[in-house]
Structure 1
């Protein structure tokens, strides 16, 4: 769900502020894991740090949790500086990739443990445990040991335990990566439901683009210790700020073109209106076309059209993916939805085909 459709998000109130933070790990070779990172995460927001391995997303999560101090810069929680505050003094909980449950304890015992360490009254603990079990739909298994339940059920227990003290912020470090595909997709929806029902700010770390697009109100795309772009899933996917973001989020076709105003002339043929980011000057540019915005038909291209030859056709049930080689040598992938009884009238490999692009589907990329 886009942030614009979430009126419960306090858009003008920050839960977490990261101000020009850098993290340098000393050693034989100095490693700058974070490089002058700034971001504001709003209250009651599902915020995702997305990027490839080694981009700095988990390091940033650890700084927010207090497991690592920043080398430079500061962190604030609700306007209070927490840069040097130890983890146990921050109203923040973390769900780790391996869940870190106590296997000899029951489901209810695991959820109660943190509350007991905080010295909460027994009646409050019992009420909270009951409420958490209902929230994560684990009431029938309350007395089962966590070593005797499935991975998906263990993940629910880890979430319930982290949510029980009602922290201001919940950090989630790739908690779905150990689950199989179907369960992971189910838990994506479940996590979003839990965040919405509890009103707690979630900060989620993942390298999975689909996961980020499915759950997030906003996404920060990271690379080499920097945040490259922050925006809603729709903004990140449809209006990527630069080539790395476009390439990392979803499938992409990159084509060479010449920009003049808001129009582009593709080197392979055809002129189109395009979305042009601020600061991009007229001249040679690279443009993005998503495969679902491209169509391929049989036949040679006419004047002003984009021609090429067919390379491969892949049927995948709901869609047909077509790869064609343009006369410039560029390879383009088109993904066309299938309807009942539909058949693609395409030539064999090496046959002439023509590419069409949906209006408004071309985005000019910054270098």
Structure 2
């Protein structure tokens, strides 16, 4: 494993003012993996990243790098580099000098520094910007320089603390693809921190979803999205509809009264059904429907239209429909429609 944390805990303060930022977190990150720590503000993801970087020492537990215990090693002795939210480029140095700065501090020969800088400029596609100062660059270009500077010493692990948060939406999407390309080309282990689930799904090989200092689920983006372990994960990763009910044999009776056939193994009593909006289909009166609902609103999103509805018990449910070329889906408020769910779309969660 490239990085392991074993029952890592971190507390701040003392006595009644103690705050437990991490509560026994254990993760194993493979060599060459793009691993993302995902969760809301205050969940502990940045604290965990700082433990790996060496900026913080755990209250309890261990941090290992390629099997070696580095729990108490200072940051400057770890083959790890960090890219922060603020790019922290030196304004008085040009792009090439910024990229080569860490190598210069390590005492590398000039010829080696020049070769590494040229390689990094090519990698981040900034060969024509080597002589420019940071203030002459766009936000995306500054981000690339920060990445190149962190990659130049060839660290074994690169830590990224929400590095795209300051970029506008279009540029952020471009940089998501750029980051993944850089990770694949360099083969370096990336550990990425974000609260943006789209970033996590777009770039990651695996994702760890965190809440209140604990890891709730680790898996591939598809596993996390399609098979969340609980309501928090289902709700945090994308949009989700939740239906309350109670298990009756191999079915769930909803609070609205309808029975739905689902796989209930491992669950009993009161449960919650989770279903993604894109897996909800509206059907005509001639088709057999799982549920009936009343349309309350439709919202046009370009390629998609979100149809907001209410069940008989006032539970809200949303269907994501592909918009036709005209943009009009022909549904009106107050109209009653039938609903069907894609096979396997209903996930049973404990209430």
Q: TM range, normalised to the smaller chain?
A: over 0.9
**For the residues of structure 2 that align with 1:165 and 1:292, how far apart are their CA atoms?**
44
CA RMSD in angstroms, aligned pairs only: 1.8
TM-score for both structures, normalised by structure 2: 0.95
Deviations 1:299-344 (A, max 9, x none): 5997x74122111011222111111110022100111112335753
**For the residues of structure 2 that align with 1:150 and 1:219, how far apart are their CA atoms?**
30
Whether the 8 Å contact between 1:261 and 1:282 is mirrored in structure 2 is: no
Aligned counterpart for 1:315 among listed residues 300, 303, 317: 300
Residue 149 of structure 1 corresponds to 137
Q: 1:297 to 1:314 in 2, by over 3 A?
A: farther
2:323 aligned with 1:334: no
Residue 255 of structure 1 corresponds to 243
Residue 82 of structure 1 corresponds to 70
**For the residues of structure 2 that align with 1:260 and 1:144, how far apart are their CA atoms?**
69
Secondary structure at the aligned position of 1:67 is classed as coil
Whether the 8 Å contact between 1:115 and 1:165 is mirrored in structure 2 is: yes
Whether the 8 Å contact between 2:270 and 2:350 is mirrored in structure 1 is: no
TM-score for both structures, normalised by structure 1: 0.91
Secondary structure at the aligned position of 2:2 is classed as strand
Whether the 8 Å contact between 2:305 and 2:321 is mirrored in structure 1 is: yes
**For the residues of structure 2 that align with 1:158 and 1:67, how far apart are their CA atoms?**
19
Whether the 8 Å contact between 1:300 and 1:307 is mirrored in structure 2 is: no
Aligned counterpart for 1:243 among listed residues 224, 231, 239: 231
Whether the 8 Å contact between 2:302 and 2:327 is mirrored in structure 1 is: no
CA positional deviation for 1:286: 0.4
Secondary structure at the aligned position of 1:234 is classed as helix
| Structure 1 segments (4+ residues) deviating >6 Å | none
Unaligned runs of 5+ in 2: none
Aligned counterpart for 1:189 among listed residues 177, 180, 186: 177
**For the residues of structure 2 that align with 1:170 and 1:245, how far apart are their CA atoms?**
26
Residue 3 of structure 1 corresponds to none
User: Bigger shift: 145-154 or 34-43?
Assistant: 145-154
